[in-house]
Amino acid sequence: MVKAVRIYKTGGVELLKYENITLDKPKADEILIKQTACGLNFIDIYHRIGLYPIDLPSVLGTEAAGIVEAIGDNITDFKVGDHVAYASGPIGAYCDYRIIESRYLVKLPGNISDEQAAAMMLQGMTAEYLIKRCYKVKSGDVVLLHAAAGGVGSITRQWLKQIGATVIATVGSEEKAEIAKSNGCDHIILYNHEDIAAKVKEFTDGSGVSVVYDSIGKATFEASLNSLKSRGMMVSFGNASGAVDAFSPAILAQKGSLFLTRPSLKDYIATADNLKSSANALFDAVSNGIKVNIGQRYALEDIAAAHTALEARQTIGSTIVIP
């Protein structure tokens, strides 16, 4: 019997059901994983509340790491006992055993533990595509990064500093400001009570930033556009405060011929080559000093408490869930 967390309808954390499910044997292109750690990501909340619709009932969760327990007949690139992780593919990571197609899996190098992998694969490959492919950040670029003490934020801010960017970071509390500062962010904005665009103008002598990485959505969208320099790039990649309202593209012209993209990780790791190169870039970044901060650990059966903390802005860095 497999332990899993499933929802039957969308809504609050009380709908997360910890229960037994059954698994078949892996098919020809599939692998059975004994999962030792699952990642907790904001997208899990969007799935639970229905912001991103999914078929129901469904086991939730998008990311996990563990050990290969059995392989299908066509599998040649993984073997029983390999440590693997995934951060894409069908939803259903909140469980202790999982069958998944091998094309979603990455083999872990010896210096990355299962817990580290569960904490960083989704958030770290997101950081990779945001700063290397969505907008290729160069040394000397001035960047605005929201929620810099969160999961994606913690990895992204360290990586930006490795590249040599100037990082203006927003955070929601003094405690998070200290963390962002001690990790090398150049300027901090406490965006719950400071004016984001005015502070950015102050830090950049009135010129604005080259790129904004905005995962907050509704609450920060306009301030982010107002923080960009002429022909700057707005990367709107999340909705922690709610989805951005519809708007006219003419606004981008009025604010300085801005660029806007609304990317999703799945499109940046859709091919085997993309997945491999994104994961390898992340592994290299960790080898070069990026720290994966596991700020919280929960047991799988306490998943409701984990969701509550993430939703209430109480988490720092990444969160893992142990089946």
Q: Does 124 bind ligand NDP (CB under 6 A)?
A: no
Provide the minimum distance between the beta carbon of 172 and ligand NDP in the complex, in angstroms, as a whole number.
2
Residue 54 and residue 62 in contact, taking contact as beta carbons nearer than 8 Å: no
241 belongs to the binding site for ligand NDP (CB under 6 A): yes
Q: Is there binding between residue 176 and ligand NDP (CB under 6 A)? A: yes
CB half-sphere exposure, 103, CA atoms < 13 A? 11
Separation CA 221–CA 215 (nearest Å): 9
Residue 209 pairs with which residues in a beta bridge?
228
Candidate residues 61, 92, 124, 172; the one interacting with ligand NDP per rule CB under 6 A:
172
Which one of the spans 25-33, 78-86, 171-179, 193-201 is the region binding ligand NDP (CB under 6 A)? 171-179
**Size of the residue set binding ligand NDP (CB under 6 A):** 31
Q: Tell me the DSSP string of 160-185.
A: HHHHT-EEEEEESSHHHHHHHHHTT-
AA identity, residue 38:
C
Interaction of residue 66 with ligand NDP, rule CB under 6 A: no
Contact call for residues 303 and 6 (beta carbons, < 8 A): no
Q: What angle do CA 282, 286, 288 make, to 5 degrees?
A: 115
Return the range that interacts with ligand NDP (CB under 6 A); candidates 64-72, 105-113, 159-167, 232-240: 232-240
Which residue's structure tokens are 């010129």? Answer: 207
Asked whether position 313 contacts ligand NDP by CB under 6 A, the answer is yes
Identify which of residues 152 and 258 has a Cβ nearer to ligand NDP in the complex. 152
Judged by the rule CB under 6 A, the positions of this chain that interact with ligand NDP are 41-43, 122-123, 126, 147, 149-153, 171-173, 176, 215-216, 219, 237-241, 263-265, 310-311, 313, 315
